[in-house]
Chain A
Amino acid sequence: MNLSVELSKEDSVQRFHIAGEIDAFTAPVLKDKLAEVQDVPGLQAELNLTDVTYIDSTGLGVFVGFYKTLKANDGYMKIIGVNDRVKRLFEITGLDEIIDIEKGVGENRDATL
């Protein structure tokens, strides 16, 4: 059971590529990685979940925490590449009403802005 988080900066957008399973064991890895940049004022973050094979409430909690911190710092967070399973989880919990979620990975690389 593994989780990897790769960060790449493109223009003014911090892009996170997250791969693997996000549960109570691996969530701290994700949380720490996101925490490295979350206090930057006006941060534009894009989280790519294309390669996330499992997520539960622990992972959702990390995203909510990150979203709140960014919002408090005038930043913006977007989640892309969600598959049907992950999308369903966001819908069940109502988080899709709050967080900007895009199914698949869009061609428009400025979509975050």
Chain B
Amino acid sequence: MQPYDYVEIRVPAKAQYIGIARLTISGLASRLGFNYDEIEDLKIATSEAVTNAVQHAYQDNEGEVVVGCALFEDKIEIMIADHGESFNYEETKKNIGPYNESEEVEFLREGGLGLYLMETLMDEVKVHHEEGVTVFMTKYLGEEQVGKDVKTVTS
């Protein structure tokens, strides 16, 4: 396994903290060497996932959103969970399976444009449902990977 640094932040599930998550990702992506456009893509994708978590998971405005980032030499992996438990990063990653069609449709109905943007702006996006929603997304450094795993959303 490639070595990586892991950074995690937890923010209250409130809209005013979405910008904080965005700034954190921006700083980490910059550190890894992503270019301006890629950093903007990462900011939007992260905001979309955190916005979903804030709006759908905690309508009573309680709880926390966990944003975990694994920084590799050639990519950044971002996990956003709308349930307050800290990640066991390796465990969570293992449990992220292949797409479940029905789940994806369900999430789409709620996420709408947000999920579409995440999939367009990131190289890989997976959504995992178990005790809440976990979004797992990856962006590679460098041009050659861009668009490799972009999925088309038709509905």
Residues of chain B within 8 A (CB-CB) of A93 are 113, 116-117
Beyond the given pairs A24-B54, A25-B18, A85-B37, 10 more chain A to chain B contacts, judged by CB atoms under 8 angstroms and listed by A's residue number, are A1-B16, A23-B19, A24-B47, A54-B22, A58-B51, A61-B113, A85-B40, A92-B117, A92-B120, A92-B121
A3 vs chain B, min Cβ distance (A) = 11
- The contact string, 1 if C-beta is below 8 Å from chain A, for chain B 8-23, is 0000000110110010
Scan residues 9-58 of chain B and give those whose CB is less than 8 A from a CB of chain A. 15-16, 18-19, 22, 37, 40, 43-44, 47-48, 51, 54-55
| B113 and A24 within 8 A (CB) | no
A60 in contact (CB, < 8 A)? yes
Contact A57 B19, beta carbon cutoff 8 Å: no
**A58 to B15 Cα, complex, angstroms:** 11
In the assembly, what is the distance between CA of A60 and CA of B114, in Å?
10
Size of the A side of the interface (Cβ < 8 Å), in residues, is 15
Give 9 nearest A-B pairs by CB, closest first. Answer: A25-B15, A57-B113, A1-B19, A24-B51, A24-B15, A57-B114, A25-B16, A56-B47, A56-B44
Task: Say whether B113 contacts A60, CB under 8 Å.
Answer: yes
Asked whether any CB of chain A lies closer than 8 Å to the CB of B132, the reply is: no
When chains A and B are docked, how far (Å) is the Cα of A58 from the Cα of B117?
Answer: 11
Question: Residue A46 at the B interface, CB < 8 A?
Answer: no
For residue A89, CB closer than 8 A to chain B, the reply is: yes
- Interface of B with A (CB < 8 Å)? 15-16, 18-19, 22, 37, 40, 43-44, 47-48, 51, 54-55, 112-114, 116-117, 120-121
Q: How far is the CB of A22 from chain B (nearest CB, A)?
A: 10
Known: A24-B51, A24-B54, A85-B40. A57 touches B15 (CB 8 A): no
Q: Are B40 and A23 in contact (CB under 8 A)?
A: no
25 A–B contacts from the bound complex (CB under 8 Å): A1-B16, A23-B15, A23-B18, A23-B51, A24-B15, A24-B47, A24-B51, A24-B54, A24-B55, A25-B15, A25-B16, A25-B18, A25-B19, A54-B43, A57-B48, A57-B112, A57-B113, A57-B114, A60-B113, A89-B44, A89-B117, A92-B117, A92-B120, A93-B116, A93-B117
Name the distance in Å between A73's Cβ and chain B's nearest Cβ.
24
Contacts of A58 in B (CB 8 A): 51
Chain B residues, Cβ within 8 Å of A60: 113
Q: Mark out the residues of chain A between 20 and 61 whose CB falls within 8 Å of any chain B CB in the assembled complex.
A: 21, 23-25, 54, 56-58, 60-61
Contacts of B120 in A (CB 8 A): 92
**Cα–Cα, bound, A57→B114 (Å):** 6
